[in-house]
Amino acid sequence: MRREMKRWENIHLTGINRLPAHTDFYRYETKENAKTFNKENSIGYTLLDGVWKFLFVDSPELSPKGFEAEYFAIEGLDDIEVPSSWQIKGYGNMHYTDVLYPFAINPPFVPQENPTGIYFRELMVSDLADDEALILKFNGVDSAFDLYVNGQHVGYSKVSRVPSEFDITEYVKQGTNRLTVRVYQFSDGTYLEDQDMWWLSGIFRSVELFKINKNTLQDVIVETLPDENYENFTLKIGGEFLTSNVKGLFATLYHQNEKVDQFDIEVADGKFEISRLIEKPHLWNAEEPNLYHLVFEYCLPNGHKEIVPLRIGFRSIEVIDNEIRVNGKRIFFNGVNRHDSHPKTGRTVSYEDMLQDIKMMKQYNINAVRSAHYPNNDVFYDLCDEYGLYVIDEADLECHGFENTGNYNWISDNELWQKQYVDRAVRMVKRDRNHPSIVMWSLGNESGAGRNFTAMYNAIKAIDPTRLVHYEGDRVAAYSDVYTTMYTRLKPLEEIGKNAEGKKPHILCEYGHAMGNGPGGLTEYQQLMRKYPRLQGGFIWEWCDHGIETTNENGETYYLYGGDYGDFPTNGNFCIDGLVYPDRTPSPGLIEYKKVIEPIVTEEVNLTEGKIRVKNLYDFKNISGIVLHVEVKSFGTLIEEKEIKLPSIQAHEEVEITLPIDVAKAAQYDDVRIYLSYREAEDTLYAEKGHEITKESFLLESTKLEKGVITVASIGSDFAIEDEAAQLKIENDMFKAVFSNVYGTLESFESEGEEIINKGPKVTLWRAIIDNDMYKKDDWINKYFLKNTKEQLGEVTYEVSEDHVDVVITKYVSTVNQAWGFHLTYNYRITKNGVLNVDLKGEKVLRGIEIPEMLPRIGVTMHLNQDYSEVTWYGRGDSESYQDTKRSQPIGLYNKTVEDMHTDYVYPQENGSRCDTSFLALAKGDHKYLINFKEEYDFTIHDYETSALEEAKHRGNIKKSPFNVLTIDYKQSGVGSNSCGEEQLPRYRTVIEDFRLQFEIRKIEKDSLVEESKFFTAR
């Protein structure tokens, strides 16, 4: 027997007594207040945020009798902060899933176990005039709620992330009034809100009260329509009043406080519409977000004047010749997906939080944001208008859990749900359609396909024909103006780019999954998307890690993710997938993305003449005046430093520039590199003067250093050798080396009486699993047993010469039950001066048929004296780099402590590599050891073992070791994006191949590092 729908399960109901959606604006008494755009200065505005009383029950039916009554006792109830989510405040259960609904799928019904929060607040109301009304606005409530005032049911609403407004005038009295809001965690709307995020409930956005005149402006709509040359624009204005009592408005258009136009607007039957030609306005785009102020003035029947200001931008968005164009020009999206997320408050974010995000996006060259996967707070779009970001505004709609049922289109193609789908689209568009930053509406995310999306598309076009509409689930772009895909691999993406004739433009609404250590391979995506005109960019998934902040017993901050609250089923740390950490610290992934999407590209033309080519990849902006800071360095020595200002370079143009440097002088040095930094010449909205837009560096090839061998006079005594069954000891007054004759390993190496090497080197094929290895790790661990690398001894031999001893150890290395492996030859040369030189050769052995296509790495690990904790290296830095994430890290001389070489990912994993390194040094006070590489290798050095890193599940839980662990890589595989995206590309994969590692370790004078690094002494 089918059970009866409860109100919060009724798909035929979109709301009760909720007022129609409209654009956001505020009314002011004076122009001075209007200019501030501060709603707290507006007429009749009261913010109801703060402490409310709260009662939590396990189901709506368990609400106490009479809870809605005006005199229901609330004094003994808990306090709760509004806005907030009740799970964050300790009520109910924290639960994270990516795809799964947290209950049985039986639409539109939800479980009887439906956590419910009842909110109470006293509201003081002064005497209302006959022509005044009180409007109560909820900006975000998850997932549905009933509103009561003084015991009377005012209304009901759902759709968590769009506003709901109610006229409460007839329900209030002068003096104290009781507001009661009963919020349901689950409703039929929950089936449409299965986004990848924490399941958080409650009044999580601000609650506002407006005392308005009953005749006031109800809605205003602004469109800007270009002429054929995109020079002059028609300003089209429409709107309506709540009544027909206002007969006219007066409008003034300002640009930077300069009056541009003013005109009267006639109002008939409460409605108005007018068009004005504006000649050659300053146009809005993400690079030059020119905003105008459109100010309306009108008189109410009571004689009072109201002023309504709007920020508008003259901007068109069209598809022309199969290209997305803004103001007639093709644009390219370098975007991110962004959730509302804060480590302490969950989905409740403040103005300051949003501003911080937007400023950071601009600072890191991001020009677009997709409001994944729901409309943001209205102020977010105000900030995007002001700071300049293209926005895809996305409806609060995702039905991802249906994918696992075998019927992804279960409700998306069910006409009974059509009203619900359309309601979500229309309310979003009606609120946000005056924002120039919004260039595209999104019908939602990961919800299958079907007739309801067609209905949404048609409903949007009926009320806003000026913007594009996209939906990634529309595989044939039937109800999308663009062809959108996500996580498309490079090869099929190129096919899309080639197959352009007569086809809609393409964007990647998600790619480059920024989970943990990654994403890698972004350069190849950028190059491909820039190559084919049909491909117009994409949006990285995603902006921020969704970790929840907590502290350990030592007071150290770390972040919780799915499963940490006992939530099941859960997708674990899949919510830790952002370019910034929860506290907005940039990850290496964001630093790399900034470089990959750089708007100014530099190419070498002829460095011997100081000539470079500068390309302007902006779509609109002339980069004239940008400061180019030039440094010429040899290792750490600054040879020359200059600054110039760029000449006029229009968008998509390039010029050759001769750098004002003395190349002949530079050529007298070794390994000279030219470092270029493009910087803002003046303060901007988002950054201070001197902010670095991008950087580049070049090696002056004529100065490239080839390391040689220098013979150094021996100062050590003769060798003493003990060759016993278990050990081979070689020593003099400068060093002591102990080898195992049983295992064929260097067990210890002392220099001048101090142990420097505790163990190693030993071949490793393993790295701590990164999130992007998640689909390989099972084979790596359980099929190829790559964690269980074992070396089998062949023989240990040695030969003594006058100045050195050569110890040659042959081995075979493989893993458990594998037929493939490597024949190894370790050739150690130790000089009388205590120099240790290592030459390791590996010859591949391919037998059998089960051979891994990719190895995590081929390298060697050593345990070193932990007192030597200062690291200096000449390679890429100063942040970490991997072979597919190294563009942002120029080669140079860098210095850190071992502790600082760790990248503190929320979920601990392989980290801290430095690519393309020529040498490194470890120091303790005035004592320093050089580790000089024959070729450029990658290395990591940490104060913990790989096993400890893998055992730790949170920051601060990594067990420290009593020594430093140095890994020198012949090759380490890149990081890719395969937690949800492209695997490591073939060029970045480590495969079974012959290899050779050569390096020398010797003690040096503290200040002689660079000179000492230019040569070897043993061979």
CA distances from 1019 to 33, 227, 835, 837, 934 (A): 78, 74, 10, 7, 10
- Tens-place pLDDT, residues 529-539: 999 999 999 99
Q: Is the peptide bond before 979 cis (omega within 30 degrees of 0)?
A: no
**Residue segments in the chain with a per-residue pLDDT below the cut of 50:** none
Give the Cα separation of 935 and 913 in Å (integer): 16
Give the Cα separation of 146 and 167 in Å (integer): 14
Number of H helices, E strands in the chain: 12, 60
3-state secondary structure of 725: coil
**DSSP track, 586-614:** BPHHHHHHHHHT-SEEEEEEEGGGTEEEE
Q: In this predicted structure, what is the pLDDT of residue 491? A: 97
3-state secondary structure of 851: coil
Q: In this predicted structure, what is the pLDDT of residue 887? A: 97
Q: In this predicted structure, what is the pLDDT of residue 1? A: 53
The residues assigned a catalytic role are 446, 510
393 and 441 Cβ atoms separated by less than 8 Å: yes
User: Which tokens go with 271?
Assistant: 């409605």
Q: In this predicted structure, what is the pLDDT of residue 1006? A: 84
Give the Cα separation of 789 and 821 in Å (integer): 10
CA distances from 708 to 768, 832, 1014 (A): 36, 19, 7
196 and 400 Cβ atoms separated by less than 8 Å: yes
Q: In this predicted structure, what is the pLDDT of residue 238? A: 98
Give the Cα separation of 730 and 735 in Å (integer): 8
Give the Cα separation of 442 and 474 in Å (integer): 11
Give the Cα separation of 442 and 69 in Å (integer): 41
